[in-house]
Protein backbone atom coordinates (compact mmCIF):
# COMPACT_ATOMS: atom_id res chain seq x y z
CA UNK A 1 0.00 0.00 0.00
CA UNK A 2 1.32 3.41 -0.95
CA UNK A 3 4.03 2.37 -3.41
CA UNK A 4 2.14 3.84 -6.37
CA UNK A 5 1.14 0.58 -8.06
CA UNK A 6 -2.47 1.50 -8.78
CA UNK A 7 -1.68 5.11 -9.64
CA UNK A 8 0.98 4.00 -12.13
CA UNK A 9 -1.22 1.25 -13.61
CA UNK A 10 -4.06 3.71 -14.22
CA UNK A 11 -1.68 6.27 -15.77
CA UNK A 12 -0.31 3.57 -18.10
CA UNK A 13 -3.86 2.49 -18.94
CA UNK A 14 -4.73 6.08 -19.93
CA UNK A 15 -1.71 6.22 -22.24
CA UNK A 16 -2.56 2.84 -23.77
CA UNK A 17 -6.16 3.93 -24.31
CA UNK A 18 -4.93 7.10 -26.07
CA UNK A 19 -2.99 4.81 -28.43
CA UNK A 20 -6.10 2.76 -29.17
CA UNK A 21 -5.03 -0.23 -27.09
CA UNK A 22 -7.57 -2.25 -25.17
CA UNK A 23 -6.44 -2.55 -21.57
CA UNK A 24 -7.86 -3.12 -18.11
CA UNK A 25 -6.48 -2.43 -14.64
CA UNK A 26 -7.02 -5.04 -11.96
CA UNK A 27 -6.40 -3.59 -8.52
CA UNK A 28 -7.53 -4.09 -4.97
CA UNK A 29 -10.41 -1.66 -5.27
CA UNK A 30 -12.06 -3.46 -8.17
CA UNK A 31 -11.24 -7.04 -7.16
CA UNK A 32 -11.30 -7.30 -3.37
CA UNK A 33 -14.93 -6.20 -3.17
CA UNK A 34 -16.24 -8.60 -5.81
CA UNK A 35 -14.30 -11.55 -7.16
CA UNK A 36 -12.21 -11.85 -4.01
CA UNK A 37 -14.73 -10.45 -1.53
CA UNK A 38 -14.74 -13.74 0.38
CA UNK A 39 -11.01 -13.54 1.13
CA UNK A 40 -9.18 -12.04 4.07
CA UNK A 41 -5.48 -11.33 4.45
CA UNK A 42 -4.08 -14.59 5.78
CA UNK A 43 -1.19 -16.11 3.84
CA UNK A 44 -3.58 -18.62 2.26
CA UNK A 45 -6.11 -15.93 1.32
CA UNK A 46 -3.39 -13.73 -0.18
CA UNK A 47 -2.18 -16.68 -2.26
CA UNK A 48 -5.73 -17.34 -3.46
CA UNK A 49 -6.28 -13.64 -4.20
CA UNK A 50 -3.20 -13.53 -6.44
CA UNK A 51 -4.16 -16.85 -8.09
CA UNK A 52 -7.63 -15.57 -8.97
CA UNK A 53 -6.24 -12.33 -10.32
CA UNK A 54 -3.73 -14.28 -12.39
CA UNK A 55 -6.46 -16.48 -13.84
CA UNK A 56 -8.61 -13.44 -14.69
CA UNK A 57 -5.67 -11.61 -16.24
CA UNK A 58 -4.93 -14.71 -18.33
CA UNK A 59 -8.48 -14.66 -19.72
CA UNK A 60 -8.18 -10.98 -20.60
CA UNK A 61 -4.82 -11.55 -22.32
CA UNK A 62 -6.32 -14.45 -24.29
CA UNK A 63 -9.06 -12.03 -25.41
CA UNK A 64 -6.45 -9.57 -26.66
CA UNK A 65 -6.70 -7.12 -23.76
CA UNK A 66 -3.60 -5.78 -22.05
CA UNK A 67 -4.10 -6.75 -18.40
CA UNK A 68 -2.43 -4.44 -15.90
CA UNK A 69 -2.43 -5.84 -12.38
CA UNK A 70 -1.61 -3.64 -9.40
CA UNK A 71 -1.48 -5.77 -6.28
CA UNK A 72 0.56 -6.27 -3.21
CA UNK A 73 1.95 -9.68 -4.01
CA UNK A 74 4.55 -9.99 -1.28
CA UNK A 75 5.71 -13.54 -1.91
CA UNK A 76 7.96 -14.50 -4.83
CA UNK A 77 6.35 -17.95 -5.12
CA UNK A 78 2.93 -16.40 -5.82
CA UNK A 79 4.34 -14.12 -8.51
CA UNK A 80 6.11 -17.09 -10.10
CA UNK A 81 2.88 -19.12 -10.15
CA UNK A 82 1.14 -16.33 -12.04
CA UNK A 83 4.12 -15.92 -14.37
CA UNK A 84 3.64 -19.55 -15.44
CA UNK A 85 -0.08 -19.12 -16.21
CA UNK A 86 0.59 -17.20 -19.42
CA UNK A 87 3.09 -17.31 -22.26
CA UNK A 88 6.47 -15.88 -21.30
CA UNK A 89 6.01 -12.93 -23.66
CA UNK A 90 2.69 -12.06 -22.01
CA UNK A 91 4.01 -11.60 -18.47
CA UNK A 92 5.96 -8.51 -17.52
CA UNK A 93 6.75 -7.98 -13.86
CA UNK A 94 7.21 -4.32 -13.01
CA UNK A 95 8.55 -3.65 -9.54
CA UNK A 96 7.47 -0.33 -8.04
CA UNK A 97 10.40 0.31 -5.73
CA UNK A 98 9.40 2.58 -2.87
CA UNK A 99 10.86 2.89 0.63
CA UNK A 100 8.57 1.97 3.50
CA UNK A 101 8.66 5.50 4.95
CA UNK A 102 7.41 6.92 1.63
CA UNK A 103 4.63 4.30 1.49
CA UNK A 104 3.61 5.27 5.00
CA UNK A 105 3.63 8.98 4.15
CA UNK A 106 1.17 8.30 1.30
CA UNK A 107 -1.21 6.26 3.44
CA UNK A 108 -4.51 8.12 3.31
CA UNK A 109 -6.47 5.23 4.86
CA UNK A 110 -4.39 4.97 8.04
CA UNK A 111 -3.52 1.33 7.35
CA UNK A 112 0.13 1.58 8.40
CA UNK A 113 -0.79 3.38 11.61
CA UNK A 114 -3.35 0.68 12.41
CA UNK A 115 -0.88 -2.08 11.53
CA UNK A 116 1.80 -0.58 13.77
CA UNK A 117 -0.76 -0.40 16.57
CA UNK A 118 -1.47 -4.12 16.10
CA UNK A 119 -4.98 -3.60 14.74
CA UNK A 120 -4.15 -5.22 11.38
CA UNK A 121 -2.40 -8.58 11.50
CA UNK A 122 -0.03 -9.78 8.77
CA UNK A 123 0.30 -6.35 7.16
CA UNK A 124 2.93 -6.34 4.41
CA UNK A 125 6.03 -4.42 5.37
CA UNK A 126 5.08 -4.19 9.05
CA UNK A 127 4.11 -7.59 10.48
CA UNK A 128 4.47 -9.64 7.31
CA UNK A 129 7.48 -9.69 4.96
CA UNK A 130 7.75 -8.38 1.43
CA UNK A 131 10.06 -10.33 -0.87
CA UNK A 132 11.36 -7.86 -3.45
CA UNK A 133 11.47 -9.30 -6.98
CA UNK A 134 14.80 -10.65 -8.16
CA UNK A 135 13.73 -11.16 -11.78
CA UNK A 136 11.46 -8.19 -12.54
CA UNK A 137 11.58 -7.19 -16.18
CA UNK A 138 11.40 -3.53 -15.19
CA UNK A 139 12.04 -1.59 -11.99
CA UNK A 140 10.54 1.87 -11.56
CA UNK A 141 11.49 4.00 -8.57
CA UNK A 142 8.08 5.28 -7.53
CA UNK A 143 9.52 6.53 -4.27
CA UNK A 144 11.87 8.95 -6.01
CA UNK A 145 10.59 9.62 -9.53
CA UNK A 146 7.49 11.57 -10.54
CA UNK A 147 4.46 9.69 -11.88
CA UNK A 148 5.00 11.06 -15.40
CA UNK A 149 8.60 9.78 -15.47
CA UNK A 150 7.55 6.35 -14.21
CA UNK A 151 4.74 6.22 -16.77
CA UNK A 152 7.17 7.20 -19.55
CA UNK A 153 9.53 4.44 -18.42
CA UNK A 154 6.78 1.80 -18.50
CA UNK A 155 5.47 2.97 -21.87
CA UNK A 156 8.96 2.89 -23.39
CA UNK A 157 9.38 -0.65 -22.12
CA UNK A 158 5.98 -1.71 -23.48
CA UNK A 159 6.87 -0.25 -26.89
CA UNK A 160 10.23 -2.03 -26.82
CA UNK A 161 8.46 -5.32 -26.06
CA UNK A 162 5.88 -4.74 -28.81
CA UNK A 163 2.97 -4.45 -26.38
CA UNK A 164 2.29 -0.77 -27.15
CA UNK A 165 2.53 0.70 -30.64
CA UNK A 166 4.82 3.47 -31.86
CA UNK A 167 5.00 6.71 -29.94
CA UNK A 168 2.48 7.96 -27.41
CA UNK A 169 1.56 11.64 -27.27
CA UNK A 170 0.29 11.94 -23.71
Banded model confidence at residue 36, pLDDT cuts 50, 70, 90 = confident
* Backbone phi and psi for residue 9, each to the nearest 5 degrees, phi listed first: -60, -45
The arithmetic mean of pLDDT across residues 58-63, rounded, is 95
Q: What's the confidence (pLDDT) of residue 60?
A: 96
The arithmetic mean of pLDDT across residues 55-77, rounded, is 93
3-state SS assignment for residue 109: coil
The whole-model pTM stands at: 0.88
Q: What's the confidence (pLDDT) of residue 121?
A: 82
The arithmetic mean of pLDDT across residues 18-30, rounded, is 91
Q: What is the pLDDT of residues 135-153, one digit of tens each?
A: 999 999 999 999 999 999 9
Banded model confidence at residue 103, pLDDT cuts 50, 70, 90 = confident
Could you say which of 3, 6, 73, 128 is catalytic? 73
CB 31 within 8 A of CB 45: no
Look at residue 31 and tell me whether its pLDDT is greater than 90. no
Q: Is 148 annotated as catalytic? A: no
Kindly list the structural domains of the chain, giving each domain's residue range(s) and its CATH number in brackets, ordered by start. Answer: 5-160 (3.40.50.300)
Q: What is each CA distance from 54 to 27, 51, 62, 112, 119, in whole angstroms?
A: 12, 5, 12, 26, 29
Amino acid sequence: SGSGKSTLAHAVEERLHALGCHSFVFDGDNVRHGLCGDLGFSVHDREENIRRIGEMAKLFVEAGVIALTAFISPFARDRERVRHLVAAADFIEIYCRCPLDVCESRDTKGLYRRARAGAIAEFTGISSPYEAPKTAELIVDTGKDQLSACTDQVMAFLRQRGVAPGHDHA
